[in-house]
């Protein structure tokens, strides 16, 4: 039963507080837009065709998760910030998101809309290789595709080799957790970002003359993983992820020692270290 001595709740006053906060949040978004206009004038990002900064975005998302508290779900907060970041990035330098829908359109559309918002155009394709080709032909577009493509997709990562070829620049979602509303693990590719790339994890396309089960353990000892593999002209092509501190020669030496001699190794991208959120903490 309600306490008869308790002070009556002033619903009108509470709703007034909500209205005040809504107005302040809108005003702050408008102020953010004004700052972005000044940023465009200084950086001239609209001329470069890309304003995506995966390292900064990863740091922002980590800070949000670390300070989050209260009854509002983290999913909602993350989604709001992703829309803000994705849309203001588009305002700086318009871009489209190309998505491989060969494994189903719904999870890729969810991922694109959650991470980049509804203002950014969404363009479906039939394979990861088609996405990479579309990004290569565009001025500053992004591409997304599932990390686990399956053997039938072929060695798509080899299309990322070469100095001017698109590169992996992020792994989404930025904050991994059970039940994430857009939790399909995807890579983001763009044309090379140079100084904007973050190298906490680096990816290599590797060809080995023969496969050995010990190869996976050898990569693991370096703190890395073999992400994908497929047969290629009597050899094995693999996408390998290792911490940024690992030199290519160290990876080659580890694979050679496992009796999986390397015939070719090419860097094909990098991204921020994975963030996992559980029990109210991030790791």
- Of the candidates 151, 170, 196, which is a domain's last residue? 196
Q: Give alpha helix (H) positions in the chain.
A: 11-43, 45-48, 54-67, 74-92, 105-116, 128-137, 214-221, 248-257
Where on the phi/psi map is residue 279: left (φ > 0), alpha (ψ -120 to 50), or beta? left
3-state helix, strand, coil in the chain (%, to 5): 45, 25, 35
| pLDDT for res 46 | 58
Question: Each residue of 153-165: pLDDT tens digit?
Answer: 889 999 999 999 9
Domain that holds residue 32: 21-196
- Of the candidates 174, 196, 218, which is a domain's last residue? 196
Q: Using alpha carbons only, what angle is made at residue 107 by residues 95 and 97, rounded to the nearest 5 degrees?
A: 5
Question: Each residue of 151-205: pLDDT tens digit?
Answer: 778 899 999 999 999 999 999 999 999 999 999 999 999 999 877 679 999 999 9
If one counts the domains in the chain, the total is: 2
| pLDDT for res 217 | 95
Report the CATH number at residue 220. Answer: 3.30.70.80
Residue 275 has pLDDT above 90, yes or no: yes
Count Cβ atoms below 10 Å from residue 88 Cβ, excluding itself. Answer: 18
Residue 212 has pLDDT above 90, yes or no: no
Residues 91 and 215 in one domain: no
Report the CATH number at residue 85. Answer: 3.40.190.10
């Amino acid at each position: 039963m309600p306490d008869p001595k308790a002070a009556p709740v002033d619903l009108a006053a509470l709703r007034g507080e909500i209205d005040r906060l809504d107005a302040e949040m809108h005003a702050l978004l408008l102020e953010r837009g004004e700052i972005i206009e000044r940023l465009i004038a200084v950086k001239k990002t609209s001329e470069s065709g890309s304003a995506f900064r995966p390292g900064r975005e990863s740091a922002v998302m980590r800070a949000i998760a670390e300070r989050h508290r209260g009854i509002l779900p983290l999913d909602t907060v993350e989604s709001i910030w992703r829309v803000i970041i994705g849309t203001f990035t588009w305002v700086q330098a318009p871009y489209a998101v190309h998505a491989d829908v060969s494994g189903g359109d719904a999870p890729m559309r969810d991922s694109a809309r959650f991470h980049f918002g509804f203002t950014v155009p969404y363009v479906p394709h039939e394979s990861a290789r088609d996405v990479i080709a579309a990004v290569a032909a565009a001025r500053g577009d992004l591409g997304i595709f599932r990390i686990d493509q399956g053997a039938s997709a072929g060695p798509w990562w080899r299309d990322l080799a070469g100095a001017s070829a698109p590169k992996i620049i992020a792994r989404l979602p930025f904050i991994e957790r059970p039940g994430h509303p857009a939790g399909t693990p995807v890579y983001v590719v763009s044309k090379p970002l140079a100084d904007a790339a973050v190298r906490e994890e680096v990816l290599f396309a590797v060809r080995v003359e023969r496969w050995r089960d010990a190869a996976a353990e050898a990569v693991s000892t370096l703190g890395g993983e073999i992400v994908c593999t497929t047969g290629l002209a009597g050899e094995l092509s693999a996408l390998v992820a290792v911490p940024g501190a690992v030199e290519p020669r160290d990876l080659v030496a580890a694979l050679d020692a496992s009796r999986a001699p390397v015939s070719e190794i090419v860097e094909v991208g990098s991204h921020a270290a994975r963030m996992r959120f559980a029990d109210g903490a991030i790791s």
